[in-house]
């Protein structure tokens, strides 16, 4: 598979997608702050590595089918694509992934590094990543430092269907376990836990 052709290289196209992304997320914020803009009201969590896996791709295919989108854009927000990656490789670290991809093709893209250097891949060379639908019906925000991904959508029915695919709510104690694993003393402070709870509970 020719991986490079799936990575965006036209600056005008990247700018257009970036404008759409800015309508969906607060670009300068980081979790546990609220990174999503309204009207996203339903939130679910999963693990960073899980989103890069076969099961993560199956979830994305489910979402693409539900929103009638032909492809998802996977975009590295931090570091910004123009700061380093674009200058070095003449294309961004933003990829358009068609819904018909197999899980192996998906994993090839998120693990692809120019010049066969996987350190520069989406999976490894990023602090924050988003998976976004052109329809803007849903979005997933990945935070490498917390090793979590947060799914957001407008529809409670879609959120309920994602619960059947291994996604959990902010009330699930498993989330606290995930967060504690990346903290030196393995203890999530009350302040941080409260922020997650307040920002990502369902608005119903």
In a domain, 132, yes or no: yes
Determine which of 66-80, 109-123, 175-189 has the lowest per-residue pLDDT on average.
109-123
182 lies in a domain? no
Q: Is residue 87's pLDDT more than 90?
A: no
Q: Looking at residue 119, what is its pLDDT?
A: 61
Question: Is 199 part of a structural domain of the chain?
Answer: no
Q: Residue 179 domain-assigned? A: no
Structurally, the chain folds into a number of domains equal to: 1
Name the pTM for this structure.
0.93
Q: At what angle do helices 156-163 and 54-67 cross, to 10 degrees?
A: 160
Dihedral sign computed on CA atoms, order 15, 104, 55, 68 = positive
> Does 92 reside within a domain?
yes
- Output the pLDDT for position 127: 85
203 within a domain of the structure (yes/no): no
pLDDT at 118 over 70: no
Q: Residue 122: which pLDDT band, with cuts at 50, 70 and 90?
A: confident
Q: Would you state the pLDDT for residue 123?
A: 81
CA distance 92 to 10: 9
H or E segment and range at residue 88: helix 85-89
Q: Where do we find the tokens 């490789």?
A: 89
Give the structural domain span for 107.
3-25+41-170
The better pLDDT of the pair 169, 112 is held by 169
pLDDT above 70: residue 56: yes
pLDDT per residue as tens digits for the range 152-165 = 999 999 999 999 88
Residue 204 clears pLDDT 70, i.e. is over it:
no
Tokens at 172, concatenated: 């699930």
The answer to which of 10-14, 45-49, 97-101, 143-147 has the lowest mean pLDDT is: 10-14
In a domain, 84, yes or no: yes
pLDDT digit string, tens, across residues 168-192: 999 999 999 999 999 989 999 999 9
Q: Is 141 helix (H, G, I), strand (E, B) or coil?
A: strand
Given the DSSP bridges, would you call strands 138-143 and 128-132 parallel, antiparallel or unpaired? antiparallel
Sequence-distant (6+) residues with CB within 8 A of 71 are 64, 96, 97, 98, 99, 134
Looking at residue 90, what is its pLDDT?
74
Name the band, by pLDDT with cuts 50, 70 and 90, for residue 83: low
Burial class (CB in 10 A: 0-12, 13-18, 19+), 174: exposed
CA 30 – CA 34 distance, rounded (Å): 8
Q: What is the DSSP letter of 3?
A: G
The reply to whether 188 falls in a domain is: no
> With contact defined as beta carbons under 8 Å apart, do 61 and 119 qualify?
no
Is residue 113 packed enough to be buried (19+ CB in 10 Å), middle (13-18) or exposed (0-12)? middle
């Amino acid at each position: 598979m020719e991986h490079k052709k799936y990575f965006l290289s036209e600056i005008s196209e990247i700018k257009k997608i970036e404008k759409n992304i800015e309508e969906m997320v607060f670009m300068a914020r980081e979790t546990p702050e609220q990174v999503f803009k309204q009207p996203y009201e339903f939130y679910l969590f999963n693990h960073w590595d899980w989103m890069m896996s076969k099961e993560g791709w199956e979830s994305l295919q489910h979402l693409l089918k539900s929103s009638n989108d032909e492809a998802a854009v996977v975009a590295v927000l931090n570091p910004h694509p123009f700061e380093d990656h674009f200058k070095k490789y003449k294309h961004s670290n933003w990829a358009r992934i068609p819904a018909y991809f197999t899980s192996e093709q998906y994993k090839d893209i998120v693990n692809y590094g120019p010049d066969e250097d996987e350190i520069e891949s989406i999976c490894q060379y990023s602090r924050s990543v988003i998976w976004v639908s052109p329809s803007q019906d849903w979005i997933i925000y990945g935070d490498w430092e917390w090793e979590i991904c947060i799914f957001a959508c407008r529809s409670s029915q879609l959120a309920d269907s994602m619960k059947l695919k291994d996604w959990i709510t902010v009330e699930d104690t498993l989330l606290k376990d995930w967060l504690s694993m990346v903290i030196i003393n393995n203890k999530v402070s009350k302040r941080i836990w409260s922020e997650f709870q307040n920002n990502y509970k369902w608005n119903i």
